[in-house]
Amino acid sequence: LFRCIILGVYFINMDFSITILGASSALPTANRFPSAQVVKHNESIFLIDCGEGTQMQLRRNKISLLKINHIFISHLHGDHYYGIFGLLTSMNLLGRKKELHLYAPPELRRILNYIWKQTGIQLLYEVVFHVHNYSGFNLIADCKHMQVFSFPLSHSKQNCGFKFCEKQSVANIRKDCIERFELGIVDVRRIKAGAGIYLIDGTYIDNKELTHHAPEPRTYTYCSDTVFVESLNTVIGNTDLLYHEATFAGEANDLAIATGHSTSIQAAHVAKQLSAKALILGHFSTRYTDVGFLQQEAETIFKPVFLAEDNAEFAINRITRATVQVK
Amino acid sequence: LFRCIILGVYFINMDFSITILGASSALPTANRFPSAQVVKHNESIFLIDCGEGTQMQLRRNKISLLKINHIFISHLHGDHYYGIFGLLTSMNLLGRKKELHLYAPPELRRILNYIWKQTGIQLLYEVVFHVHNYSGFNLIADCKHMQVFSFPLSHSKQNCGFKFCEKQSVANIRKDCIERFELGIVDVRRIKAGAGIYLIDGTYIDNKELTHHAPEPRTYTYCSDTVFVESLNTVIGNTDLLYHEATFAGEANDLAIATGHSTSIQAAHVAKQLSAKALILGHFSTRYTDVGFLQQEAETIFKPVFLAEDNAEFAINRITRATVQVK
């Protein structure tokens, strides 16, 4: 009985949050590290991009390097991957044994192997390399509670966005039913799988009466770097939370196109297109020390808009699927 | 006359300082970046080692990336060079045209070329590569006011230390003499080169009476990473200021030897051996959150001892050649 209750609590507390480790564009500043962020989902920690300084930012945010088992690198501009060398060697120094899954462009595997060879490094753990496919919407990581898909973006370098789709969670058994019907572990398992129960007097109790309704799975989408992509929704569907690069302000539209980037206005249009419940803007140009006006611009098109400050954390509510900034 | 006075002021203010960008050992922490530091000498900025995050630390310390023309990499353990990729590409993005001198192990040239090729980067400036010689005391950079020498250390990887030797500055002309003897620019030049002057009545005024005595040139030595090196003074001579790694406390002597590092006690012995006027300890193991006791240990052997905290700055006085911590 005790174990069943524990299980119930476990599911109610399943967190889904995004921690920004860096949100600068190509040039970092004194206050903005280059691109990196972690997706926390319950006990799992996924790393998206790994700009220089990621391992220091992980430590600042008290996120264990060894708990990261999946790293997704969007593309090979330095501000999105120059931190991978330090992170992988630090994992090695910390005694990592568990395999690490790295989803990245094929050149990264060659670069890593070259550096390890030139400097005599032999990792004590396996890096399982998953090479990007730059067409279509592809399931690239199928984990216990989460599926991750890649899709092509449009940038000056081949680039993938990532969509994190929580798996449908099993229904939570109502605590009062466990006591009322004296349910055992086997009963609980069956009910979680969708079964009803027969009482001794033959009465049938439907699954719906024994469980709380399992909420809709939540989704998070990462788009950086890219120009404005038309009809992205036809490729990846809707999303609850969208992180979209907004390197430039609305008035710098031509510059955005010329450099393969987006404006705050365009990011807001993508959020609208994907029926997002919230938008996080990031990857800011160093020309903007105060990025508050990018938020204001975007909010003329779509609300709510958050700003990706380093070390900020955003959580997606399990029931409403709305996003709040938690730090 | 005006120009002569300006020249005088210029020499009096010739600074010589060390700014610590990072002083952690192999693993960085939330508060300690990996190894990197800048030597500022008047208008020149030299970078020693370039651990991950160096370019962010340079920005925090308001040091222009483009003013760095000489980078010295001691050895190819990641905590001493993983920041070079980001620094060089950021210099490129900032429009650098001036050549950059890089003093490093030969493998670094191959690694850089490989990464640039794999990711399609073409630097707009020339990197002049100077490959380390791992024997003897070698003049590797002969700049206007500074000479830099390399010398071998003893570590688990081939490694060089560096000694920065200020060139003998010319004598400063006494301001009162300029007015009293109505000296012109040509006179001043001659006097700076060591000449005396004849007055109209034939009186000879010796150079010593016209000038302030030029102080002894200052020296700074960087030793990281290394085990304790016996008789280093016979190779590199004395030094005013010594930065020496102190990865471990005195009691961890065996561990220091096994990992190719030094203890705080050994660092102090090297300072004594080199007749240093001050010692900075750095490259601390993550096992020590508070490193104050390493300083206390070292001060039982040698004084004064400073701790290399990130963003600390140490200046060597021009006259006394003693070191003070300025921030």
CB pairs under 8 A between A and B: 93
Residue B211 to residue B174: CA distance in whole angstroms = 5
Number of H helices, E strands in chain A: 11, 19
Q: Closest partner residue to A30 among B52, B60, B111, by Cβ? A: B60
Strands (E), chain B: 16-22, 36-41, 44-50, 68-72, 100-104, 127-131, 138-142, 146-152, 160-166, 172-173, 197-198, 204-205, 211-212, 219-223, 241-245, 278-282, 305-307, 313-316, 323-325
Q: Do A86 and B28 touch (CB under 8 A)?
A: yes
pLDDT for B12 beyond 80:
no
Give the C-alpha distances (Å, rounded to integers) separating A220 from A101, A223, A271.
20, 10, 11
Phi, psi of A140 (to 5 degrees): -110, -25
Cβ burial A174-197 (10 Å sphere, 16+ → b, else e): beebbeeeebeeebbeebbeeeeb
Where does the pLDDT of residue B213 fall: very low under 50, low under 70, confident under 90, or very high at 90 and above?
confident
Residue A195 to residue A206: CA distance in whole angstroms = 8
Please tell me whether the interface predicted TM-score (ipTM) of this complex is above 0.95: no
pLDDT at A12: 43
- Encode pLDDT of A166-180 as tens digits: 998 877 888 899 888
- Encode pLDDT of A78-137 as tens digits: 999 999 999 999 999 999 999 999 999 999 999 999 999 999 999 999 999 999 999 999
Phi, psi of B90 (to 5 degrees): -65, -40
Residue A73 to residue A69: CA distance in whole angstroms = 13
Q: Do B26 and A93 touch (CB under 8 A)?
A: yes
Q: Do A52 and B76 touch (CB under 8 A)?
A: no
Phi, psi of B159 (to 5 degrees): -150, 140
For residue A33, the chain B residues in CB contact (below 8 A) are 56
pLDDT at B72: 98
More confident residue, B72 or B192: B72
The three-state secondary structure class of B65 is: helix
- Encode pLDDT of A43-61 as tens digits: 999 999 999 999 999 999 9
- pLDDT over 70 percentage in chain B: 96
Catalytic residue among A49, A79, A225, A240: A79
Where does the pLDDT of residue A202 fall: very low under 50, low under 70, confident under 90, or very high at 90 and above?
confident
Quote the minimal CA–CA distance from B294 to chain A in Å.
Answer: 23
Q: CB-based burial of residue A130 (10 Å sphere; 0-12 exposed, 13-18 middle, 19+ buried)? A: middle
For residue A28, the chain B residues in CB contact (below 8 A) are 55-56, 59, 86, 90
pTM of the model: 0.90
Quote the minimal CA–CA distance from A105 to chain B in Å.
Answer: 10
Residue A180 to residue A209: CA distance in whole angstroms = 12
Q: Among candidates A260, A255, A179, which has minimal Cα distance to A223?
A: A260
Active site residue A225: no
Q: Do B93 and A55 touch (CB under 8 A)?
A: no
Average pLDDT, chain A: 93
* Angle (deg, nearest 10), helices B106-119 and B84-93: 50
Pick the residue from chain B with its C-alpha nearest to A53: B53
Residue A295 to residue A287: CA distance in whole angstroms = 15
More confident residue, B10 or A256: A256
